Chain A
Amino acid sequence: MDAATAFPYGLRVLVVDDDPTWLKILEKMLRKCSYEVTTCGLARVALDILRERKNKFDIVISDVNMPDMDGFKLLEHIGLEMDLPVIMMSIDGETSRVMKGVQHGACDYLLKPVRMKELRNIWQHVYRKKMHEVKEIEGHDSCDDLQILRNGFEGLDDKSLFMRSDSDTMRKRKDFVNAVNQIGFDKVGPKKILDLMNVPGLTRENVASHLQKYRLYLSRLQKQNEERILGAARQDFSHKGTSENLNLRSSFQEQPSNIPNGYPHASQNIQTQANMQDSQLEDTKSTVPLPLPDKKEVYMEGDGRDFSDVKPSLMDCIKSTSLALTCTVDSISVQLSDSGTTSADGDLKFSSVDGLSSIKNCCFDQINSQGPLRPSQEPSIIGCTELASLPDDQPGYPYPLQGVSFDNIPLSSFDFSHYNDATMILSGLQNNWYDDDLEFSSETMDYPLIDGRLFA
């Protein structure tokens, strides 16, 4: 088939790295390999991009050390939500780090400085994954499945292979989660899940591996939450939390209407939710009814998949297994900040909603509040990535000489200023992006939601 021979060209790569120099170099190198490159300086923005433009990327290359989000966390998110192959990169080649990368699901771990030949071969990971998906699908004998597949994929072009696996995987995931809930998380086992799911062609091994991944993810999240509760962050946060409390509680009533207007409102809203809930949590573990369930509905329409039934059931199942979280202000707040990092703009993916059982409605709120904002942010995100790739779009050199009079102008000085302008503007822009982000990440360590997004 034609696609097989033409495959490596035009591979759509997303590069995530906080260092602008590396972004530039990697972009150049990947372009040389005839791949389609999008660059991104922030992990959160990268997640947004991936969620916005679903199925528009084939592979992700990410740095390990990033200020806003750990590379391994990003790796997990991408693996669970989008199931794209992810390659990790670092200047640090210690075995423990590489091991960690592989454990979190990285397809490969490259050492910086990266060589061209290593980048040239990244397509193999995409192909390998594709082959795995095809094998799973081809295992299905039932007509029903084929029917579903066919119905779901009318009008697709030759990229249909990717999409088919995607939709199918998400459907299977949903079935999986439903099955787990039904059985009860403690008693779950691959065989039981398999029987309940009743998806023909699915092997016990598939279910077992997925279950293991799911368990690892949950346990890791819980461990993190525990550490956070015990950690020093709690003190800082409670200190800040109480002051925020006073200001925001009063304006809470107006919050819901303000949500679409601005991002800062969203983050404040979440804080108020947290504080409000704290007081109520002492009494009951049930959550506050939110004024925003309709927003959730509206938002979901835009998305092809329906997760509304998944979340409540998930919540119940996780509740039964999670520790009895002593509902202190701190723990809730800390969990929120954790949820901020892990489920930033947590869309309707169950993975981001995991592990935050007692803050169920806070999650919903987050999702709702951050949902409508995304469309407005997208143009700016795209703007930045486009700018990052701007120099290469120019006609080969930054010295446009059309219309230059050669009579008397000292050419060197003229073109100096022009050149300097171009690069300084670009680096200045990227630096601005950086500086502001860094400022905020240091000041507002406890409010990771407030990041460079304000400057988008």
Chain B
Amino acid sequence: MAAAALREQLNALLSSMFSQGLVDEQFQQLQMLQDEGGTPGFVAEVVTLFCDDAERIIAEIATLLEQPIVNFDKVDAYVHQLKGSSASVGAQKVKFTCMQFRQLCQEKSRDGCLMALAVVRNDFYDLRNKFQTMLQVVPYLFFLVFDLQIITTYKVMIDNVCVSCNLKITTLVFLLLKFITRYIMARSYAGSF
């Protein structure tokens, strides 16, 4: 089934992210929080929040470094913020880069900071791309599951239930598919993450 193939791809993506040190154990914690809580959108939400926030912080740092006189304390504060944010989703590589960035801030070297900013930016974009791929693939998993195989399997059952309940088949199909979707979504998230 196409869904299985996609799920495999997703798992491969995730394990590569782990092995490359892009994400750490905290990311797994987030997944666990989602699975145990039964809220499929949780990881996606957190990841999106992080991406937006990090984008904003990086822009602020860039602005600060462009000033004629650089306020290194402010830059340091922002880098600290970014470090905290990246720790929240388990963005390990970004976090380490931030730590190095802070060292350069202590040294008050504008060039050093600009270089560090470039590295942080790269790392962050890299991670963001992977997150975005992950987020795009996952919803597909739900709906690819609705291929003909499943519907034909259930058709007989649907017919029987219709006859016994005296319901219109369309209403029944709606209800059924709603429940099936819910189940499969929960399963998909649990399985793929």
Find out whether the CB atom of B37 lies under 8 angstroms from the CB atom of A427: no
Least distance between A416 CB and chain B CB atoms (Å): 6
Find out whether the CB atom of A25 lies under 8 angstroms from the CB atom of B181: no
Least distance between A111 CB and chain B CB atoms (Å): 10
List CB contacts (< 8 Å) of B45-79 with chain A: 45-46, 48-50, 52-53, 56, 60, 74, 77
Find out whether the CB atom of B40 lies under 8 angstroms from the CB atom of A65: no
* Segment of B10-18, B84-92, B152-160 engaged in the interface with chain A: B84-92
Q: Which of A63, A419, A424 contacts B139 (CB 8 A)?
A: A419
* Given known contacts A20-B53, A29-B33, A65-B77, A91 and B87 CB-to-CB distance under 8 angstroms: yes
Q: Count of A residues near B, CB < 8 Å? A: 45
Chain B residues whose CB sits within 8 angstroms of the CB of A396 once the complex forms: 38-40, 182
Q: From A400, which residue of chain B is reached at the shortest CB distance?
A: B178
Q: Which of B44, B52, B146 contacts A431 (CB 8 A)?
A: B52
Least distance between B114 CB and chain A CB atoms (Å): 20
A397 to B181, CA, bound (A): 11
Q: From B38, which residue of chain A is reached at the shortest CB distance?
A: A396
- Tell me if B128 counts as interface (CB < 8 A to partner A): no
Chain A residues whose CB sits within 8 angstroms of the CB of B173 once the complex forms: 406
Chain B residues whose CB sits within 8 angstroms of the CB of A399 once the complex forms: 142, 181, 185
Chain A residues whose CB sits within 8 angstroms of the CB of B52 once the complex forms: 427, 431
Least distance between A243 CB and chain B CB atoms (Å): 23
Q: Which of A91, A92, A115, A402 contacts B178 (CB 8 A)?
A: A402
Find out whether the CB atom of A21 lies under 8 angstroms from the CB atom of B36: no
**1/0 per position for A420-448, CB-CB distance to B under 8 A?**
00011011001100110010001000000
Q: Which of A397, A412, A419 contacts B39 (CB 8 A)?
A: A397
A237 to B174, CA, bound (A): 66
Q: From B140, which residue of chain A is reached at the shortest CB distance?
A: A412
Find out whether the CB atom of B30 lies under 8 angstroms from the CB atom of A25: yes
- Tell me if B81 counts as interface (CB < 8 A to partner A): yes
Chain A residues whose CB sits within 8 angstroms of the CB of B36 once the complex forms: 32
* Given known contacts A401-B178, A438-B60, A91 and B84 CB-to-CB distance under 8 angstroms: yes
Chain A residues whose CB sits within 8 angstroms of the CB of B39 once the complex forms: 28, 391-392, 396-397
Which of A397, A402, A415 neighbours the largest number of chain B CB atoms within 10 Å of its CB? A397
- Tell me if A83 counts as interface (CB < 8 A to partner B): no
- Tell me if A189 counts as interface (CB < 8 A to partner B): no
A402 to B37, CA, bound (A): 22
Q: Which of A32, A419, A435 contacts B37 (CB 8 A)?
A: A32
Find out whether the CB atom of B87 lies under 8 angstroms from the CB atom of A113: yes
Chain A residues whose CB sits within 8 angstroms of the CB of B77 once the complex forms: 65, 67
Chain A residues whose CB sits within 8 angstroms of the CB of B26 once the complex forms: 113
Chain B residues whose CB sits within 8 angstroms of the CB of A115 once the complex forms: 29
Least distance between B192 CB and chain A CB atoms (Å): 15
Find out whether the CB atom of A19 lies under 8 angstroms from the CB atom of B84: yes
Binding site for A on B (CB under 8 A): 26, 29-30, 33, 36-42, 44-46, 48-50, 52-53, 56, 60, 74, 77, 80-81, 83-85, 87-90, 139-140, 142-143, 146, 173-174, 177-178, 181-182, 185
Binding site for B on A (CB under 8 A): 18-22, 24-25, 28-29, 31-32, 63, 65, 67, 90-92, 112-113, 115-116, 391-392, 396-399, 401-402, 406, 411-412, 415-416, 419, 423-424, 426-427, 430-431, 434-435, 438, 442
14 sample A-B contacts, Cβ–Cβ < 8 Å, listed by A number: A24-B45, A25-B30, A25-B46, A28-B37, A28-B42, A65-B80, A92-B80, A113-B87, A391-B45, A392-B39, A406-B146, A419-B44, A423-B41, A434-B53
- CB-CB nearest 5 A-B residue pairs: A21-B88, A411-B143, A113-B26, A21-B49, A21-B50
